[in-house]
Amino acid sequence: MTLAAFPSPASPYLNLGPLMLHWYSIMVLIGIAVAVAIGERRWRAAGGAPGTVVDVAAIAVPFGVVGGRLYYVITSPQLYFGAGRHPVEALYVWHGGLGIWGAVAGGALGAWIAAHRRGINFATFADAIAPALLVGQAIGRIGCWFNQELYGRPTTLPWAVRIDPAHRPADTPDIATYHPAFAYEAGWNLAAAVVVIWAQRRFGLDRGRVFALYVAAYTAGRGWIEMLRIDPANHVLGLRLNVWTSIVLFIAAVIFLIVRQPRPNAVANETIPSATTPAAHHKHIGSSQPRHTLTSLECPDHSDQSSRSQT
């Protein structure tokens, strides 16, 4: 018997007179906006030029949406192709379905292109936005609640989510409460963001290792949360495809963290070029220059200090 459970929203839409907006899309957009705002503050804390994260996001976000949708469609083709299916629905992003790793890969490609064009050190940029991505992902996951998707196995726990009959699995039509996997992932992401920031401050992570820790932290949680899900998914050797993706990426991230250890007696730092300064003018500087670290979601004003980054 379930002692308590929270309900699902009555509608996936926000009605504003003649406008009908999808809550899923709204939450994704809010997540992007918050991630950009946090990333911008962290980038400026490291001495980066104001507005750079916004400029990069203008290219990275569309790449991420396309990449996320492609990953979802490729890993779940049965939802859009075959007898009785409608392939055009693969384009209906507002109905839900963005594969996070396709989104990260696509967004990273777009960010790399934008950073390269501006002469920005991509590893340093990735370190700046890593915790911001986790916060943005947490907010975006709430959109799954409005769509009554991304829930886990049936449960009678007091924090279960109630799913309407139309959205329940075919083999459990009379069971109303399920694990709120979307909430687990949102909470994990927020906790991981705090851990990543703490680890960067505690161990002086740099040169892409903050981003690698983001990947490792996220996949560690995503793996067990994925095991709770009961929605249709392709399996390989008895495990959901996304579980294998999490395992592979976790191992790769840990290897990167180990291999990327700073060299003993390293004294050179790399600067963070502004969006308008040629990369050729920003090589290495001596260790006597001030160093800025990316250690919090909030940051003080560094407008009176020279632009320097960690190496």
**How far from the centroid of its chain's Cα atoms is residue 279's Cα?**
28
State yes or no: pLDDT of 310 exceeds 50. no
What value does the mean pLDDT take over residues 285-296? 39
Predicted confidence (pLDDT) per residue in 111-169, tens digit: 999 999 999 999 999 999 999 999 999 999 999 999 998 899 999 999 999 999 999 99
Number of domains the chain contains: 1
Side chain identity, residue 43? W
CA distance 172 to 14: 29
Question: Containing H/E element for 114?
Answer: helix 100-118
Residue 197 resides in a domain? yes
Residue 74 resides in a domain? yes
The answer to whether the predicted template modeling score (pTM) of the entire model surpasses 0.85 is: no
Buried (b) or exposed (e) across 240-273, using 16+ Cβ within 10 A? Answer: bbbbebbeebbeebbebbeeeeeeeeeeebbbbb
* Contact indicator for 308, 272 with CB cutoff of 8 Å: yes
Residue 2 resides in a domain? no
User: Which is nearest to 225 in space by CA: 187, 255, 199, 191?
Assistant: 187
Quickly list H helices, 229-295: 241-259
Identify any residues that bridge with 12 across adjacent strands, giving them in sequence order. none
CA angle 124-257-51, nearest 5°?
Answer: 15
What is the span of the domain harbouring residue 28?
21-151+189-208
Which range among 10-24, 63-77, 159-173 has the greatest average pLDDT? 159-173
Alpha-carbon distances of 114 from 52, 63, 126, 235, 246, rounded to whole Å: 10, 11, 12, 36, 27
pLDDT at res. 263 = 63
CA distance 161 to 155: 9
Residue 305 resides in a domain? no
State yes or no: pLDDT of 274 exceeds 70. no
User: Which is nearest to 289 in space by CA: 266, 306, 311?
Assistant: 306
Predicted confidence (pLDDT) per residue in 172-206, tens digit: 999 999 999 999 999 999 999 999 999 999 999 99
DSSP 162: E
* Contact indicator for 62, 33 with CB cutoff of 8 Å: no
Residue 259 resides in a domain? no
State yes or no: pLDDT of 219 exceeds 80. yes
Residue 170 resides in a domain? no
Residue 135 resides in a domain? yes
User: Which is nearest to 35 in space by CA: 123, 109, 139?
Assistant: 139
Residue 98 resides in a domain? yes
